[in-house]
Amino acid sequence: MDIEAVKQSLRGPMIPVITNLHDDLSIDHEAIKENVRFVVDAGIVTGSGALLAVGAGGDFPVLTLAERKAVCGTILEAANGQTPVIFGAQDTNPEVCIEIARHADELGAWGIQMSPTYYYASSDDDCVRLYEAVHNATRRINIMIYNTHWEAYDISTPTLERLAELPRCTSLKWSCPNSGTYLRTLHEFSDRFAIIDNQGLQVMNRMMGGTGYITHLATLWPEHDLHVWQLLENGEYAEAQRLLSTINWPFQQFRGIMWKRTGSESPVIKTGLEICGRPGGPNRLPVRSCNAEEREDMRQRLEMIGVPAVSRT
């Protein structure tokens, strides 16, 4: 594949789309569509953003395979060809990874995000075999390598070299335990992958050839992260970092607080959506929703950083 074309397509803020649920905990596809259309209409479109469907932010571990495929299809439909959509395909079972990858291929998604398998800690060779199997089972989709080093396996530089030989392994969602390794990987691989920051080093990522960054705040306030991205594209790194430090970091701080109280990423985002008058909804066990005190804490934080449409109810 033409890596420069990939880097122009997969560019800007990447939003993990949450999975909205009805009160009976069935999938609320209409709410998902409404939230997707909100960010797409705000400017999260090809060249200025991307959507991650049913990743961790979309609660994939508590969805059935059929639900995962259905929600991916809903997000792709709502994006309406305006925004690259990457299906979350990670799983402990390689056959599930392959089935979701083929589903993405058939529906015409931009690509898939896939980490090495987990629970059984991967080896370098296990990792390569998995990506080769998915690559060989599909026809056209891009494959985003996702380094989930917190799951007991950290992809090494030699393994990235091997994965880069697969023609459709075109992007890397990158974080690692060591900042020096993070930077060296940017230096060594930014000409071979579209590299999406997942470590909170958005400015350094862009300075060294990266093409975007993960942001949950953009679910609530896409205009802010689009502005940050434009500053990064213009080389206005100091101002971009100022905004990230004063706006994104306080939001991330609250997410960190909640992670110690209940798992998953979506309870915080769903609460924020409701505070902003948009569809949020409940969560499946074992996760719980924010309580009244936590909800008020988040409302105050969103108001402080300037998120529009913050409700006082």
Instruction: Give the per-residue pLDDT at 250.
Output: 96
Q: What is the dihedral of CA 206, 212, 218, 219, to 10 degrees?
A: -160
CB 27 within 8 A of CB 60: no
Helices (H) and strands (E) in the chain, counts: 14, 8
The per-residue pLDDT string of the chain (313 residues; one tens digit each, 9 = 90 and over) reads 799 999 999 999 999 999 999 999 999 999 999 999 999 999 999 999 999 999 999 999 999 999 999 999 999 999 999 999 999 999 999 999 999 999 999 999 999 999 999 999 999 999 999 999 999 999 999 999 999 999 999 999 999 999 999 999 999 999 999 999 999 999 999 999 999 999 999 999 999 999 999 999 999 999 999 999 999 999 999 999 999 999 999 999 999 999 999 988 999 999 999 999 999 999 999 999 999 999 999 999 999 999 998 865 5
CB 200 within 8 A of CB 177: no
Q: Which residues on neighbouring strands pair with residue 171, listed in sequence order?
A: 144, 194
CB 304 within 8 A of CB 298: no
Instruction: Give the per-residue pLDDT at 239.
Output: 98
Q: Which domains does the chain have, with CATH numbers?
A: 3-221 (3.20.20.70)
Alpha helices in 190-283 (DSSP H): 202-207, 217-220, 222-233, 237-243, 249-259, 266-275
Query: Which residues are CB-contacts of 122 (< 8 A; sequence separation ≥ 6)?
Result: 116, 130, 152, 153
How is residue 102 written in tokens?
Answer: 């083929």
CB 69 within 8 A of CB 98: no
Scored b (16 or more CB within 10 A) or e, 183-208 reads bebbeebbebbbbbbbbebbbbbbeb
Instruction: Give the per-residue pLDDT at 1.
Output: 77
Interaxial angle between packed helices 292-305 and 266-275, expressed in degrees from 0 to 180 and rounded to the nearest 10: 70
Instruction: Give the per-residue pLDDT at 312.
Output: 59
How is residue 164 written in tokens?
Answer: 């880069």
Cα 76 from Cα 229, distance rounded (Å): 23
Interaxial angle between packed helices 65-79 and 94-107, expressed in degrees from 0 to 180 and rounded to the nearest 10: 30
Query: Which residues are CB-contacts of 126 (< 8 A; sequence separation ≥ 6)?
Result: 116, 117
